[in-house]
Amino acid sequence: MFAIILLLAVLPAQFAGMARYGIEKQRVETRLEILLRDWDKAHQNIHEVHYTIQVTAEDRVLREKKMYQIEGFVKRDNLARINLFERIDKPTLIVFLNDRQLDIYKCDNKEKISWEIPDDFPEKWFDKGWGFIAEFYRDNREFFGFEFPVGKIHEEFETSLRQEDDNWAYIQLIPKTDHRKGYVKNIEVVLNQKNHLARQIRLWDNWGNLTIYDFQKLDINPKPPITLESISKDLPIGYKEMTFPLLDAIIKAPDSKSSSQ
């Protein structure tokens, strides 16, 4: 009888604790969906952006830390210039995209690689045996071209809200798709509660290395607007033109293969 009385005394407290846990869990999940909705809305409002990112790359095996800066000028969806600075005085690398024309300037070697991107690249190339090329291209456009699929985030990642305060919200993204799992173990996005955009992205790869992308400047839809003339007028000239025969062979291979079948 005493055991029954004790059980009846304890059960209400346990049920109350379970109820509080359920309510808190639902509150956090609801809050996460609100944050993701606001992030997607703010992301879609970006038509042009000028940004500066401080990148810190930590190699777990070599115990090395490298820092560099990236300045980007992006006009969706067909115009972009990305400057990579390993030193303060001048860029080490410049990537210039104008519609389907991609130019890469290697400033230290004074070399320029130009490539006319096929119309079906990268969308139709993931299953053609050279998917890593398409994935590398798409991943860089997502990070530096502001094309991260926020609106489809649940299709790509398991999401959770780790914590938040008045200024920041910490959202964890665990890859779901094979493409994402191939190189990423975990992503943490620190959202700015004021503009609902990423202030910092922390990426852990499958080898335990950490790369931190810290957005130090973010000018959305700047005035004057970004134009082809404004971001191309000071591009290097007189560089040695380089060919990319391996990439050209890769790109042409599926077409020749399909035509022979």
Map residue 237 onto helix, strand or coil: coil
Q: What pLDDT does residue 169 have?
A: 97
Question: Is 129's pLDDT higher than 70?
Answer: no
Contacts of 221 (CB under 8 A, 6+ apart): 45, 46, 47, 48, 49
**Residue 115: pLDDT band by 50, 70, 90 thresholds?**
confident
Q: What is the mean pLDDT of residues 53-81?
A: 92
How is residue 91 written in tokens? 């860029």
Asked whether residue 83 carries a pLDDT value surpassing 80, the answer given is yes
Rounded to the nearest integer, the mean pLDDT of the chain is: 84
pLDDT at 140 over 80: yes
Evaluate if residue 60 carries a pLDDT over 80: yes
* pLDDT-derived band at 259, boundaries 50, 70, 90: very low
pLDDT higher than 60, residue 91: yes
At 20 the pLDDT is 52
Would you call the peptide bond into 77 cis, given omega within 30 degrees of 0 as the criterion? yes
| pLDDT tens per residue across span 205-224 | 999 999 999 999 999 999 99
The per-residue pLDDT for 87 is 85
Position with higher pLDDT, 12 vs 65: 65
Residue of higher predicted confidence among 1 and 103 = 103
> At residue 257, what is the residue type?
K
**Reported pTM:** 0.80
Domains assigned to the chain: 2-253 (2.50.20.10)
Which residue from 34, 68, 49, 65 is spatially nearest to 196, judged by alpha carbons?
A: 34
- The whole-number average pLDDT for the span 77-97 is 92
CA distances from 41 to 21, 30, 144 (A): 30, 17, 19
Calpha distance 114→56 (Å, rounded): 28
Which pLDDT does position 89 carry in this prediction? 79
Looking at residue 256, what is its pLDDT? 41
- Whether the predicted pLDDT of 155 surpasses 80: yes
Choice between 118 and 236, residue whose per-residue pLDDT is larger: 236
Q: Please enumerate in sequence order all residues whose Cβ is within 8 A of that of 167, keeping only pairs 6 or more positions apart, or say none.
A: 192, 193, 194
pLDDT of 202: 96
State mean pLDDT over 34-47.
95
Under DSSP, is residue 201 helix (H, G, I), strand (E, B) or coil?
strand
Cα distances (Å, whole numbers) of residue 182 to 77, 123, 146, 177, 249: 26, 18, 21, 9, 25
